[in-house]
């Protein structure tokens, strides 16, 4: 592909990158329309995933689309929406050439749109910057294959792999810059998942803050088998601003009270070796495709056992907590896991490492 086309595709990727975090459950996609070597329209997927980038870009360009080139980071959809599928809208617009970074893995579209566009005499080029779409929207590709949310564990640890002191205090392990980055990780996730125990011990707010200002209340999932979280927990004060889903074994007065407060209560049958898998399948089926887990080592160990973890985000601080601290993993250390390091940064004296779990 000529470098000019790659240049425009890279610009479309930049639009998608800047927009990431807003489009869940859909991927973040960028689109440019170019005519006579001039960008006449550009767009990224709208908040909450609709309208798609192509639809917005076409609307902005209007009749100018006739005879132009489109650059888009994912194959346009083939499934119907209010204005028809993106593939049909592109055909109607008179676009002449389309440069697509990656196929859409969604079986409703996968290669079908490409076929349709070609059949309608549009020249299609595909695949040149495929990896960028995948890297940005890994949750979308991976969750679709496993039919479970893409799951990331975020943890602040000491050199000796403890996540809290023995009195369960974990507040000051990582430094300010690490904590700021942790808020970016939250922003780039569709929902946060935690345990009853972490709520009881820390009473966190699980908001997304920027310069100490709350900018978002992400959906929160709590695994609380015996409904132990106090009704005065801080997170329950944010029910008017966010969805809270509680998975529990208990159908009792407290579950009724939590429902009345506005929580979604989902009953699970038992706590066994595959219960978390069932919970994760349920989450996928209700549209949650990306999760950041912020809990302790007990839940982390269980999630690893049930093969539900895709990535780790570890902030290691230069402190020693000692043998009686709360461990990151039960009976194991990070070096016992099959990990592939995909990113490393320094935040002051803390070292942040992002690992992929190798299967
Ligand atoms: N350093 C950090 O980044 C960080 C982050 C978060 C939390 N923390 C700290 O971690 C500490 C708590 O850690 P922890 O390891 O003791 O506890 P934890 O992992 O947060 O939570 C344990 C709870 O998870 C639930 N659970 C475990 N296995 C399960 C399964 N198979 N199915 C369903 N639920 C399951 C159980 O809840 P039920 O009791 O409901 O059965 C269990 O009590 C707190 O002090 C908190 O401050 C640290």
Residue of the CA atom closest to atom 14 of ligand 1 = 296
Which residue is closest in CA terms to ligand 1's atom 13?
Answer: 296
pLDDT digits (tens, 9 = 90+) for 272-317: 889 999 999 999 999 999 999 999 999 999 999 999 999 999 999 9
- pLDDT at site 242: 98
Among this protein's residues, is 54 annotated catalytic? Answer: yes
Contact 3, 35 (CB under 8 A): no
DSSP 8-state code for residue 257: H
Over residues 142-152, the pLDDT tens digits come to 999 999 999 99
- Rounded to the nearest angstrom, the distance between the alpha carbon of 298 and the centre of ligand 1 is 5
Q: Mean of the pLDDT values across residues 46-52?
A: 93
pTM score, two decimals? 0.96
**Does any ligand 1 atom lie closer than 6 A to the CB of residue 329?**
no
Q: Which atom of ligand 1 is nearest to the CA of 170?
A: 47
Query: Which letter, b or e, does each residue of 230-264 get, where b requires 16 or more Cβ atoms within 10 Å of its Cβ?
Result: eeebebbebeeebbbbbbbbbeeebbeebeeeebe
Is the pLDDT score of 80 beyond 90?
Answer: no
Does residue 225 have its Cβ closer than 6 Å to ligand 1? yes
pLDDT in tens, 230-261: 999 999 999 999 999 999 999 999 999 999 99
What's the gap in Å between 60 CA and the centre of ligand 1?
A: 49
Alpha-helical runs (H) found in the chain: 3-19, 53-61, 86-93, 112-119, 130-136, 138-146, 176-187, 196-202, 253-261, 275-285, 297-305
pLDDT of residue 1: 57
Pair 76, 58: CB distance under 8 Å: no
Token pair for 115: 């076929």
Given a contact cutoff of 8 angstroms between Cβ atoms, the answer to whether 75 and 133 are in contact is no
> Which ligand 1 atom is at minimum distance from the Cα of 276?
32
pLDDT in tens, 153-209: 999 999 999 999 999 988 889 999 999 999 999 999 999 999 999 999 999 999 999
Q: How far, in Å, is the centroid of ligand 1 from the Cα of 198?
A: 6
3-state secondary structure of 185: helix
């Amino acid at each position: 592909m000529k470098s000019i086309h790659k240049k425009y595709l890279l610009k479309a990727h930049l639009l998608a990158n800047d927009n990431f975090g807003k489009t869940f459950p859909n991927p973040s996609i960028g689109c440019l329309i170019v005519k006579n070597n001039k960008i006449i329209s550009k767009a990224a997927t709208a908040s909450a995933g609709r309208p798609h980038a192509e639809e917005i870009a076409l609307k902005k360009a209007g009749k100018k689309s006739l005879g132009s080139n489109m650059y888009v980071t994912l194959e346009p959809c083939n499934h119907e929406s209010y204005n028809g599928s993106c593939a049909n809208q592109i055909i109607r617009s008179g676009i002449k050439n389309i440069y697509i970074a990656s196929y859409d893995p969604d079986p409703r579209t996968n290669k079908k749109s490409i076929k349709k566009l070609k059949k309608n005499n549009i020249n299609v080029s595909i695949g040149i910057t495929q990896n960028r779409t995948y890297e940005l929207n890994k949750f979308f590709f991976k969750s679709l294959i496993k039919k479970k949310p893409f799951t990331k564990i975020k943890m602040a640890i000491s050199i000796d792999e403890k996540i809290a002191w023995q009195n369960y205090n974990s507040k000051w392990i990582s430094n300010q810059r690490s904590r700021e980055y942790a808020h970016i990780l939250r922003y780039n996730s569709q929902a946060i998942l935690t345990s009853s125990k972490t709520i009881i011990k820390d009473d966190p707010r699980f908001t997304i803050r920027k310069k100490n200002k709350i900018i978002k209340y992400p959906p929160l999932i709590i695994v609380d088998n015996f409904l132990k979280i106090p009704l005065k927990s801080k997170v329950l004060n944010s029910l008017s601003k966010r969805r809270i889903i509680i998975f529990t074994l208990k159908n009792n007065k407290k579950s009724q009270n939590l429902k009345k407060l506005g929580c979604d209560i989902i009953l699970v049958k038992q706590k066994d070796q595959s219960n978390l898998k069932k919970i994760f399948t349920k989450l996928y089926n209700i549209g949650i495709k990306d999760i950041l887990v912020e809990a302790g080592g007990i839940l982390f160990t269980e999630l690893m056992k049930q093969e539900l973890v895709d990535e780790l985000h570890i902030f290691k601080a230069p402190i020693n907590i000692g043998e009686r601290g709360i461990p990151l993993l039960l009976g194991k250390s990070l070096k016992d896991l099959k990990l592939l390091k995909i990113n490393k940064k320094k935040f002051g004296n803390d070292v942040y490492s992002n690992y992929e779990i190798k299967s």
